[in-house]
Structure 1
Amino acid sequence: MHAIGSHLQYRMLQMAHYGQPTIDIELDESQHEANRAIFSYSTMDTIEGKVHITAQHDTHFREIEIAFTGAAHVFVERLTTTPAMSGRTEASHKFLALKMPLNPDDIPSPRILRAGQKYTFPFVFTIPTQLLPRACPHAVASDYVRQTHLMLPPSMGDAELSGFGGILLDDMAPEMAKITYGVKARILQLHEDKLVLLAQKTRKVRVKPAFEEQPPLNTDGNKEFRPRLERNIKKGLFKGKTGTLIAQASQPKPLVIPGARTLDAGPIATRAKVYLRFDPTDENSLPPRLGSLKTSMKASTFYASSARNNFPTRETLIYDHTQGAYTDTISISTMCIGTTAQWEKQPASANPPTEEDIERRDSGISDCSGLSAPSYKSNIPTPSSNYKGGAFYTASIVVPITMPLNKNFLPTFHSCLISRVYALSMNLSVHAPGLGDPTLALKVPLQVCAEGSATGNENARVRSEEAAGILAEADRVLSPRSFAPPTVDLPPEYAALSSRVTVAG
């Protein structure tokens, strides 16, 4: 029975499409490698091609539309203990629609597609640098959130397009979230004073927009990140402690993805720094021996079936059933730091100022400006809560971060429905006299940016120069001009009365 039902469905689809015009979308391959099945474009790139339409029999039509579209599709599975509250919520957001005006000479008159005749319509689109304000009409928490929502998001979640260059790779996106771009051609007919769809076809393309570096994320009060940790180091199982170990890190410089159609891109890398401090309980206590440092990246995709008014966080997942999150962890490296990082003894004068010291210094009067600055280093963490004064120990670790080549990393972005963020996890282990080796797990934000393509950057440069020339010409035309009467020989007493007249033109 199942086979019979499938056959009937197939025959019904054949009958529904029988007699429809055939649409073929051809893309210009001059910017791409030969025989490239995946076409990638970046910001300010031009998408050129032709739409070919062939009718099997004479067909009347009203409109032929060619557009470049971008849309986000999301569904959220809501699973609760109450069956009535469970279910799926879906949302689609069409954030981009560029329509190509057709040449009237290419449109047949009368509007009839003759049987067997091939009609060709060329098109040219330019990938915009940002979206129009109407693409994000909902309420947001700040102007910065609006600004990020109006940035062009990258293609995501399509296994047929995901990858780097001509290689298909996993972009670590769940099936619940997808962002697609494509050139869409439609033929519309007039039926009972209404436009109805006669035929359509979409040619999908991959869009990899340029993303510039954004300000570092403020992690104060954010429970998702742990930029600083303290751990007491004990002498033994039932013995006292030798001191307090402090590990501290900050957000590293971003990883930068090369632009679309880049062939000879080198390794994508950056580096982070971990600063260590050990506050001993007495002068005879020595810092623990350093063990290993394991580094990994976490790619988190947030998706929602309703528009977001702020940046997503995991804390809101508990009570907001219209959003979900998917995280993929990628191992980066494991370093043995016992020989590469060495402890250095520091005097008490090397301590950085505490918040109380800074507030006290800010509240001082101006005649204190002649005092010498304290002799501390900016890479030394502030003292622990157990610090009683005296000497302490410091060390630093440089952590290289190289992006793996077996994944397709998307830039950090936030849209109305979908967001992609990254975090860097660094697990530091040390050797202590007690049972087990203490571990400090740091977690800091990591930003991934993206460059534009060579042709896109050149197009942007030309556009910028043209805009600058237009503004300069407008300033020249609209600038005030002076008009003076002709110079004549006047008596000295009349020359003083001669004045200049200024007219704004």
Structure 2
Amino acid sequence: MGLLPLTPSTLRTIDVVLASDPPTPSPAPKPITSYTTYDDIRGHILLTSSIPQPFSAVEISLLGTIRTTHPDHIAPIIAAPGTQHVFLKLVMPLPPSAYGANTSPGGEGGEDIHHLTPGQPLKIPFHFVVPARLLPVACKHDLESPAIQDLHLQLPPSMGNFLLPRDDLAPEMASVTYGIHAKLMSVPPSATSYPQTLASTLRKIHVVPASPEAPPLSAGKDSRYILSKTKSLRRGVFKGKLGTLTLSTTQPRAFCLPPPPTDHHGPTPSTLATLTLRFDPADASCLPPRLGALTAKIRATTVHSIRPARGIPDEETRSSPYEIHSGAYSTHVSLASHEVTGVAAPWTYVIPAPAYERRDSGYSTAESDGDINLANSGGKEGTGPYYTATIPLPLSLPANKTWIPTFHSCLVSRFYTLMIELMVHPPGKSAVPSCLALKVPVQVMGEGREGREEAFEAGGRAVVEGAALGWEGEGGGDLEGMEGVEGLQGVAVTEAGDELPGYVTPARRLRGR
């Protein structure tokens, strides 16, 4: 059977319609719909044609793709090298009834032939479930430890290259996109040939997966994170020492993003950082300094690579030279800025308890059973009376940005750092103000919809998540570069509502795309 000429008048439209779309089509751009883990993605594919058009199948899939470029590559090249990773591909199984009554028995290729009739649009429903994790085949490259693969198999959030109204702080060199991909396949002219793509479309969606809160990072002595800072203060330019001031904090709880509503509005993610001040005076006459301006910024760092990452980038590795295949992009957003008043953070005078304590005989040494502990006996700075103050620092993520969870994938990572600065003013006209700066790790996590995981498992759905992946080389590529991907696993739902495990498109058809 010969193919009809492929012209705009032959095949009018192939469209993806989501269940959340307005019932009446409008010329305005389609809304961007957001989903989280275990959410149902429902809708239908709408096909129309102005003349009779035979076809062999409609293929509907949920795709997740990471694309990166690295323009600072040192090799002599014409265009910036890049790569593409299809980390998720769930294929919707379609029963014969999905094509309606316009079906004739097999052609030369042995497959049924379906028909598009002018004036009779074909509507094919689809139903996907956002998976919680990817299959191990999504991350098969060399790693520094098995724990890194566990992070790489968590579903990454949508990032960059997207049409949301707010900036998500991502560079142009990296993007994570999800979409419903639909393809109309031709009838093979013979049993030895393969179907071709008559038309295709991609409807992008926004995914903010649920993510667990990781344990606080361990910041050792040589860490690039700064959780405590000590400075010596002087009475004036040519005057004696006033004392030492120490500003300390701990890693706060994560910012928790609420489940994404369709209108992108919801409660503001917030957390509380607690700052602790300790002033050790040089002598009893020295008073603690006056506290001044307190500012807090959050730094979003996106690390992108055209080669799979073996480790997890964070502030500890950020200052080290990156390999020639990767880079990092950072940007800052202000979270708080105000003057710290004496009422909000009053100084408390502390007199340490006497520390002359005889050791228990169980801790005695061969030299003496009566050693005295003189650690807090006073007599020098840091061991006598001191002042302390506590500053609560509530922080909220601004609503004018699109915040995405902290994540680490094979090619792209996003992590956050709090940059906190406190100005202090020692007493005296000639005293010089000092600034104490902290650099604190903080996480942003996505919160799943309550009860969705339980409902998913209670519904009898086989929890088979993830996908088999296609890698594109450093030359980059578009969606047409995803041919030949064969290990397609996931959860899709038939028109009748039956949940089916991942559907594997026949290899013959894959090779012929």
Matches within 5 A, 1:39-438: 39-78=33-72, 84=76, 88-107=80-99, 108-110=103-105, 111-116=113-118, 117-160=120-163, 162=164, 168-189=165-186, 190=188, 193-220=193-220, 223-261=223-261, 265-313=266-314, 314-315=317-318, 318-339=321-342, 340-349=344-353, 387=381, 389-432=383-426, 433=428, 434-438=430-434
Deviation at 1:42, TM superposition (A): 1.2
Segment of structure 1 superposing worse, 241-250 or 331-340: 331-340
Deviation at 1:32, TM superposition (A): 11
Aligned to 2:437: 441
Output the aligned Cα RMSD.
3.4
Alpha-carbon distance between aligned partners in 2 of 1:157 and 1:44, rounded to the nearest angstrom: 23
Aligned to 2:448: 452
Larger C-alpha radius of gyration, 1 or 2?
1
Alpha-carbon distance between aligned partners in 2 of 1:267 and 1:22, rounded to the nearest angstrom: 40
Alpha-carbon distance between aligned partners in 2 of 1:235 and 1:458, rounded to the nearest angstrom: 60
Report the secondary structure of 1:77's partner residue. Answer: coil
Alpha-carbon distance between aligned partners in 2 of 1:443 and 1:90, rounded to the nearest angstrom: 32
Segment of structure 1 superposing worse, 432-441 or 228-237: 432-441
Report the secondary structure of 1:146's partner residue. Answer: helix
Closer/same/farther in 2, CA of residues 34 and 431 from structure 1, 3 Å limit: farther
Deviation at 1:285, TM superposition (A): 2.3
Q: Amino acid of the residue matched to residue 441 of structure 1?
A: A
* Per-residue CA distance 1:419-470 (angstroms, 9 max, x = gap): 11111111011112455311001110111122223xxx333222344569x9
Higher RCO, 1 or 2 (CA under 8 Å, sep at least 6)?
2
Aligned to 1:462: 455
* Per-residue CA distance 1:208-248 (angstroms, 9 max, x = gap): 21122221122225644211111111122233322111111
Alpha-carbon distance between aligned partners in 2 of 1:120 and 1:222, rounded to the nearest angstrom: 62
* Per-residue CA distance 1:160-190 (angstroms, 9 max, x = gap): 1x2xxxxx21111111111111111112333
Cα contact 1:271–1:399 (8 A) shared by 2: yes
Alpha-carbon distance between aligned partners in 2 of 1:198 and 1:251, rounded to the nearest angstrom: 54
Closer/same/farther in 2, CA of residues 392 and 31 from structure 1, 3 Å limit: farther
Deviation at 1:118, TM superposition (A): 2.9
Closer/same/farther in 2, CA of residues 258 and 279 from structure 1, 3 Å limit: same
Closer/same/farther in 2, CA of residues 125 and 85 from structure 1, 3 Å limit: closer
Closer/same/farther in 2, CA of residues 122 and 257 from structure 1, 3 Å limit: same
Alpha-carbon distance between aligned partners in 1 of 2:91 and 2:12, rounded to the nearest angstrom: 21
Closer/same/farther in 2, CA of residues 32 and 328 from structure 1, 3 Å limit: farther
Alpha-carbon distance between aligned partners in 2 of 1:287 and 1:267, rounded to the nearest angstrom: 36
Deviation at 1:414, TM superposition (A): 1.3
Cα contact 2:16–2:45 (8 A) shared by 1: yes
Report the secondary structure of 2:172's partner residue. Answer: coil
Deviation at 1:21, TM superposition (A): 6.0
Q: Give unpaired runs (5+ residues) of structure 2.
A: 106-112, 365-372, 464-513
Q: Amino acid of the residue matched to residue 237 of structure 1?
A: V
TM-score scaled by length of structure 2: 0.74
Deviation at 1:136, TM superposition (A): 1.3
Deviation at 1:349, TM superposition (A): 3.6
Cα contact 1:65–1:185 (8 A) shared by 2: yes
Closer/same/farther in 2, CA of residues 100 and 318 from structure 1, 3 Å limit: same
Cα contact 1:21–1:199 (8 A) shared by 2: no
Alpha-carbon distance between aligned partners in 2 of 1:49 and 1:297, rounded to the nearest angstrom: 38
TM-score scaled by length of structure 1: 0.75
Alpha-carbon distance between aligned partners in 1 of 2:25 and 2:388, rounded to the nearest angstrom: 56
Matches within 5 A, 1:8-47: 19-20=10-11, 22-29=13-20, 37-47=31-41
Cα contact 1:78–1:87 (8 A) shared by 2: no
Aligned to 1:488: none
Cα contact 2:298–2:334 (8 A) shared by 1: yes
Cα contact 2:139–2:152 (8 A) shared by 1: yes
Aligned to 1:356: none
Cα contact 2:11–2:48 (8 A) shared by 1: no
Q: Amino acid of the residue matched to residue 100 of structure 1?
A: M
Cα contact 1:292–1:338 (8 A) shared by 2: no
Cα contact 1:269–1:400 (8 A) shared by 2: yes
Closer/same/farther in 2, CA of residues 114 and 296 from structure 1, 3 Å limit: closer
* Per-residue CA distance 1:121-160 (angstroms, 9 max, x = gap): 2111011111111111112223332222111111111341
Higher helix share: 1
Q: Amino acid of the residue matched to residue 71 of structure 1?
A: T
Alpha-carbon distance between aligned partners in 1 of 2:226 and 2:24, rounded to the nearest angstrom: 45
Cα contact 2:227–2:440 (8 A) shared by 1: yes
Cα contact 2:420–2:437 (8 A) shared by 1: yes
Q: Amino acid of the residue matched to residue 270 of structure 2?
A: A
Deviation at 1:54, TM superposition (A): 2.7
Report the secondary structure of 1:148's partner residue. Answer: helix
Report the secondary structure of 2:70's partner residue. Answer: strand
Report the secondary structure of 1:130's partner residue. Answer: coil
Alpha-carbon distance between aligned partners in 1 of 2:205 and 2:412, rounded to the nearest angstrom: 19
Alpha-carbon distance between aligned partners in 1 of 2:23 and 2:252, rounded to the nearest angstrom: 34
Off by >6 Å, runs of 4+ in structure 1 = 30-36
* Per-residue CA distance 1:245-277 (angstroms, 9 max, x = gap): 111111111111111217773332221011111
Cα contact 2:348–2:389 (8 A) shared by 1: yes
